[in-house]
């Protein structure tokens, strides 16, 4: 996807971009270009044109096709500001980097209307959050799961949001995680390249689904062993793509679910049960985030130390050796 240009419009902002992947659906391309969900993009189809003409959401694009997307005006956010302390690692007028604790939901959703990162950001930033993510997701460009701790970047304006979304899609935003898996990984490093989609019977879960590009999306996770323990492995994971629950699904798929991840097969060993007070959900921490500043283009790297509970689990595992 080549550089995006922005033009003021009386009913919203127009994003102009050029298709670069043969045969990609228009709605998928528009979601990739804006950072919005495909379902959100499909509600905007009346404002999307290809080479100056209206097109269906399943229109297959050719490299070089000019796509214009009329973005909606920002809506008032339903979420309420809440004075929740934030561990801020960096902030300027365009972006904010937060070290999210385990247990905090990123944005309001059914069952989680308050206490989220968005509620905290609304209190801290006021009206200075991008609106592209949707009425309940101001500023949110990428997410990490509730029980995953670590670094997350939010955008303070739509230009920053679009730049960060483009970095996510072209893989220039680099995200590193630390994890503890159940079982000993046989190799010292490896890659899981397996498409992920909604689980066919449990809609709250994701799964590796092969054989249909309509039901799954390309997903790649690279992993490297850091330490080995009897029955467990401490490793680094690097995302090439960013699908929902990607690391959790991929590690479970190769037979090594994350410690504490009862949704995808972890949480059942004697060690996990004995140390349950320290293991609050899956043992997964977003430890490093590398991106280009959306305005200056400066390369920026942010790092986060492991939470105390994560370090305590590692100390107990080291005593097993």
Q: Which residues pair with 95 in a beta bridge?
A: 155
Q: Burial level of 293, CB count in 10 A (0-12/13-18/19+)?
A: middle
202-209 long-range contacts, CB within 8 A, separation 24+: 205/245, 205/263, 205/264, 206/243, 206/244, 206/245, 206/246, 206/249, 207/249, 208/249, 208/250, 208/253
Distance CA 135, CA 141 (A): 13
The DSSP line for 195-236 is -EEE-SS-TT-EEE--S-TTT-B--EEEEEEEEEETTEEEEE
Q: Burial level of 205, CB count in 10 A (0-12/13-18/19+)?
A: middle
Q: Which residues pair with 302 in a beta bridge?
A: 289
DSSP count for the chain of H helices, then E strands: 7, 16
Give the catalytic positions in this structure. Answer: 145
Phi, psi dihedral angles at 121 (to 5 degrees): -65, -40
Distance CA 286, CA 142 (A): 12
């Amino acid at each position: 996807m080549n550089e995006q240009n922005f033009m003021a419009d009386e009913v919203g902002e127009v994003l102009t971009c050029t298709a670069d992947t043969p045969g990609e659906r228009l709605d998928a391309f528009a979601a990739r270009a804006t950072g919005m969900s495909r379902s959100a993009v499909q509600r905007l189809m009346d404002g999307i044109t290809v080479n100056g003409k209206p097109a269906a959401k399943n229109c297959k694009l050719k490299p070089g096709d000019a796509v214009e997307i009329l973005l909606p005006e920002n809506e008032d956010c339903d979420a309420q500001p809440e004075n929740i302390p934030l561990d801020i690692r960096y902030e300027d007028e365009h972006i904010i980097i937060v070290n999210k604790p385990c247990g905090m939901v990123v944005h309001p959703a059914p069952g989680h209307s308050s206490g989220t990162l968005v509620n905290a950001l609304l209190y801290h930033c006021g009206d200075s959050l991008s609106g592209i993510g949707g009425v309940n997701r101001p500023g949110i460009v990428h997410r990490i799961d509730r029980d995953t701790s670590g670094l997350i970047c939010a955008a303070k304006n739509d230009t920053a949001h679009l730049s960060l979304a483009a970095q996510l899609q072209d893989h220039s935003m680099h995200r590193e995680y630390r994890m503890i898996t159940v079982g000993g990984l046989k190799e010292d490093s490896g890659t899981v390249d397996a498409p992920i989609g909604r689980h066919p019977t449990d809609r709250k879960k994701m799964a590796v689904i092969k054989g249909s590009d309509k039901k799954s999306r390309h997903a790649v996770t690279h992993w490297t062993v850091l330490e080995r323990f009897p029955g467990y492995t401490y490793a680094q994971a690097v995302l090439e793509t960013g699908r929902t629950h990607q690391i959790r699904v991929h590690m479970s798929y190769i037979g090594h679910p994350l410690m504490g991840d009862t949704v995808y097969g972890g949480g059942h060993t004697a060690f996990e049960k004995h140390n349950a007070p320290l293991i609050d959900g899956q043992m997964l921490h977003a430890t490093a985030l590398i991106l280009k500043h959306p305005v200056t283009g400066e390369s920026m790297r942010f790092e986060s130390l492991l939470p105390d509970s994560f370090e305590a689990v590692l100390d107990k595992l080291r005593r097993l050796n």
